[in-house]
Structures are given as structure tokens and as C-alpha cells.
Amino acid sequence: MNKATLLDGLDSVTTIPLIPFRNGKIDYDAHQMNIHYLMKNNHLSDARPRVICIAGTSLINQVDNNSQNKLLEATADAMDGQGILLSAISPNPIDNANILVEAQSKMNRPPDAYLIMPLEGVYSSQGLYEGLKEFSARHGENSDARFLYYYRQPRDKKQIIRLICDSPHFIGVKVGTTEADVPDMVREIGSHGLVIWGIGDRSTKAAQLGAKGHTSGISVLVAKAGDLINNAQRKGDYATSLAIEQRISPLEDLRFRDAREFNYSAVLEGMILSGFTDIDGGEGGPFNPRVSSDVSKEVQEAIADILDLH
């Protein structure tokens, strides 16, 4: 896929399906069912491709390399040569990130781009720039890999902008801070890459400030919601985008409550309570059990009026 096609394809909703677990293990059949649902229920305008990313909301930080690679292969198989496939890579430690990218770049269907998750631990912003620039050059030159960075640490803004502008292998940034960072990034990155909103479907304000596309952790339950939001934003119809946002806000409020405590488990609970048979959330993942009965009631109320967006 050439860069221009990829960039236009990413001006979309990037769906991040949760990884279903059963008896403490990944249920790959359930995962493929969820991918089939996302692919079959594509409501994007102009027959645009579905974008699927195996990333943070999916508990990617709780799986080992073999499982992560198997997940990516299972996702690619279910997508059957269609859509845009993104793979999230943790840069901790960077040597392991190298191993993952090298392995995934050799798959029958390698990712169309890699989403580099936020660096954790002690580091300097200059060190982040230098390390990721070298990392991207290595894999960009060896396997034509392309990268996005998930920006969560405000102090790193200048160096992340610099990275996107200086590295031909970084094609954009996913903003995971606040809308206030969007205008600077859009202006300074310019034609060097995309600025994508990275905190759920409530993305209208970011789009009005110049962001292109957004990420969704609830598309695996209500695929039509994110698709219609993106369709409206691409036309500049922010009233329609905001109206759909308001419908899904109760569920998003639950997910992001108390520093994202229920980011995964509220979606899981919604999938279970929905009664839909074409998706399967499993029964709870590592460090993310099913919610309490009180929270379950809140989830039930939050999804009651949006199931038509399935």
C-alpha cells in the first residue's frame, strides 16, 4: 500500500477490538469472530477500508511475543486481505520491539503500519527522539515499515513533532493527551504526517481543530457509531458527529472513569449484556475481571439506547 493511500485510509475510525480471554487464555476463535463482525459491518462512506489495530485497549501489554504474533496472524486471516491492519508495539524494552517488528514484517500479511505505544520508565525527551528515529530507520530501511506514535506525555510534544517531521518512516501521531495539543501538532507537523485523535469516539472537537480520524474501543460492540462519526467529520458535518457522540457518551464516561479503570471491562460487559451472537468478549482478561453488579447496571443503562448502532 502506498503512503498516500495509507494516509487517506487512516483518516477514519481505527477500531481496537478487545482480546477475549477464557479460562485465563486468549480465545482466538472468539477474536476472529469479532474481526469478522468489524469487517462485515463496515458503514464507512465511499467503500473505505476498515482499520483494525491490535493495541493497548486490547490488553496487548499482557501477552507475550508468541501470543501477540499469533493474534496478529489470526487478525490478518480474518480480514482476508482486506482493510488496513495496524500492530501496536511497546518500546519497552527496545530490543524486544525490534524482535517483534522483525517477526511481524515477515508474516504472510505484515502490518500496514506499527503503532508505537508510549515509552514507560525513566527517559529524556531527547532520548526518546533519538531512540525512535534510529529504530524507525532500521526497520523502515530493512522492511519498509511505517510507524505512528501514541503520544501520552505532554512534556514530549516538541520532540514527537520533531520525530514525525524528521523521520520519513513515521507517518503520524495519535494524540492521547487533550484537544489543546491538536492545533500545535497539526500546524507544525503539516504535510509530514497525520494527527489522529486517540481517546475514543468523542472526537468532534479534535476534528474541528484539525485532527484526521480517531480511535475507538467500542466499535467491536457498536461499529456503526464510530463509522458514522467519521463519515460526518470527513464532510465537515460536526453537528451530526456531535449528536452521535452524545449517544455513546454514557458508555465512554464509564470506560474512562478513574483513569480508565473500566476501559476494557466496560466494553466486555456491554458485549455480554447486549445478547448479540456475532461478537464474543470472553469472560475477563488479566487484571481486568468483569465489573461489579453495580457497574454492570450502569453499563446496561449506557448501552440500552445505542444497540441499534451495532
Position 68 scores a pLDDT of: 97
**For range 171-178, the mean pLDDT:** 98
Question: CA-CA distance, 223 to 242, in Å (whole number)?
Answer: 16
Position 172 scores a pLDDT of: 98
Number of domains in the chain: 1
**For range 83-89, the mean pLDDT:** 98
Position 83 scores a pLDDT of: 99
The angle, 0 to 180 degrees and rounded to 10, between the axes of the packed helices 238-255 and 265-274 is: 100
- Over the stretch 269-298, which tens digit does the pLDDT of each residue have? 999 999 999 999 999 999 999 999 999 999
In a domain, 271, yes or no: no
- Grouping H, G, I as helix, E, B as strand and the rest as coil, residue 91 is coil
Position 61 scores a pLDDT of: 87
The overall average pLDDT reported for the chain is: 97
In a domain, 113, yes or no: yes
In a domain, 61, yes or no: yes
Position 252 scores a pLDDT of: 98
In a domain, 96, yes or no: yes
Position 192 scores a pLDDT of: 97
**Above 70 in pLDDT, residue 121?**
yes
Position 57 scores a pLDDT of: 65
In a domain, 184, yes or no: yes
Position 60 scores a pLDDT of: 87
Residue ranges making up the domain that contains 67: 3-236
Which residues, other chains included, contact 268 with Cβ-Cβ below 8 Å and sequence gap of 6+?
18, 281, 282, 284, 285, 288, 290
CATH code, domain with 178? 3.20.20.70
In a domain, 87, yes or no: yes
Cell of 241: 458527529
* Residue 181: φ, ψ to 5°: -80, -15
In a domain, 147, yes or no: yes
Question: CA-CA distance, 192 to 180, in Å (whole number)?
Answer: 20
In a domain, 280, yes or no: no
Nearest alpha carbon to residue 286 among 10, 94, 58: 58
273 within 8 A of 247, measured Cβ to Cβ: no
- DSSP codes, 135-173: HHHHHHHHH---EEEEE--GGGHHHHHHHHHH-TTEEEE
**Above 80 in pLDDT, residue 58?**
no
